[in-house]
Chains A and B, each alone.
Chain A
Amino acid sequence: MSGRIDAERILDVYLAPEADRLPDRVIEAALADIARTPQRRALRVPWRFPLMPALSRATTVAAVAVVAVVGAGALIYLNSTGPGGAGSQPTSAPTTAPTSAATVAPTAAPASQPTFDPTDPSAWATYTSAVYGFTMAYPSDWSVHSRAEHKWQPGEPVVDDAWPWADVFANREEVDGDSMGLWVFQIPAPEGADLDSWDGLQDVLQETCDEPTVNTCPSDDPPITLCLGEQDCQPAIIVLWDQEPTPTAAFGDPEAGTITLFSIGRPDDFPAAARYGGTVALLKAILSQLDVTEPKPGETPH
């Protein structure tokens, strides 16, 4: 042989554009299929959190009755949880706490405390995922909405309003019929993923973001960089998804080959986030209970 084969030039010719013509019958067959095919709902990491399917109407009626009976005591509690804090007028109080108490069983019991502060981590409830095994704390104005039933797996079809691969938490202060959710789950690290750097974590999120059960991608903004651990800095990041400014946090476990994700729904102006200063701040508060904090000046992973 006179030299190395120029594969690129050969492929330029071999794969060169020609007059490709798709037969009309193929398009017609596809359109016939489409006529019988419903579209899926635009369900990304879901910040829309329809609670009614999880609540029977009877339960809701019962919760309303509880409001009426409990009366002023509950309203004190509710006032103290709202954006106005203690001293707000009873008429501004949402009906969230009684509803929550009637439908879920949070392990914290702050309602009896008249000066309850949901941002105080000392009052937060702890939660251990039966599927993933992690333990975390969540704000005491939130509750467990649904528990993970199995581990996340690639390509799993999405069933609307059900997230069996995630432990899901809810804050039930509604705005226009929606409330906030927090989805916590783990995904296996893709082969070759770099879990020891912030960039590596972002690459992982970029690679997995079109999975049906993740299905939204980080924006082009640089991630918020964080460190897991007080001694060594194991990288953690918060990224904002590209469609709405809702954040997802991620940190990896190189030994287990997993990445834990915290996706929080709804923009900053929802009360459950506003009282922290926004969804990113709320997420940081939750992560801080797992020793995920801002890096020290000049600190980088390992």
Chain B
Amino acid sequence: MSEITPFLKKLLTLPGLSAYEDPVREAIATEWRPLVDELSVSRVGSLHGVRRGRGTWEGKRPGILIATHMDAIGLMVTGVVDGLLRVTEVGGVDPRVLPYQPVTIHGRRDLPGVIVQPPESLLPSNTRGKPVRLQHLLVDTGLLPEEVHELVRVGDLISFATQPVELAGETLAGHTLDNRASVAALTICLQELKRTAHPWDVWAVATVQEEETYAGGYTSPVDIHPDLAIAVDVTFAKGPGVSDYRGFPLGKGFTVGYGANVHTAMFTALKDLADEMDLPNHVEVMPNQSGTDAYPMQVVEEGIPTAIIGIPLRYMHTPVETVSLKDINRVGRLLAEFISRLDDHFMEKICWDGK
């Protein structure tokens, strides 16, 4: 198993729903503190770590921002009925994967519980045999109704509580590997950079609220003013339910995003480097917007040349997301090498139509 596994597993056991990322942010900060020169928290809660470059420049030293969102999808309490909770979603949740998932309810104290599907006789008669809608699912804490009414109120958050598990072929399954897998990859990058001189400033950023509003992706570049930005996020792996071009083989390399959300020169630079390093990779065509932090970052202020690296993951937005540790390591190495090669001529390559 990879050296990053214990840290990644720890990230998967910490809550951090969109807009409430504090618990996971603290764990990331602890890991990053020895790897960066300065750490700060943005006004919306994103974590910024900077490693200062060694290069000497006439003006401001150029910088690159690597964004990995740290927020998780989950649920929120909308009502308490007879000691059971009614819920809505935070981020895009498929109600069909919810029945009988273990959860933690963040009430006046953290309570274990389980999402349940009421018996058919208690549901609308025209939904027999169909997936139970989110508004009809309940959460049971096993507590007596009076205790529940004391400890839980509308607006309380609910996190998935599935424990991560290592599967065959150096893969890891659990909830919220979207996108803590990428946080782990960025951490590997920082570890590598500690052993390497790099002329540019490197901003490692764990963004907030990607699953809801991209609030982190829109705001961190304003604080940082990077010259380049890369979003690292998970993408679809081939497997049950995914067989077409939108999926990539699990554990057989990362993806380099290509499309309107990516600066073509950035794509080429990353793709060429990956090939040169013999790191297995795939071109991921993104016909429209990418659904990553690259989408907001590209249009911050006067615009930023942006790229996207994807880590293939099975069963996205379920509590059994599955990812390859090999792919995570490969992304960490690619990023570190890319960053260490950034010099005073690199920006000349970032142009359109070869000019």
Whether chains A and B associate is: no
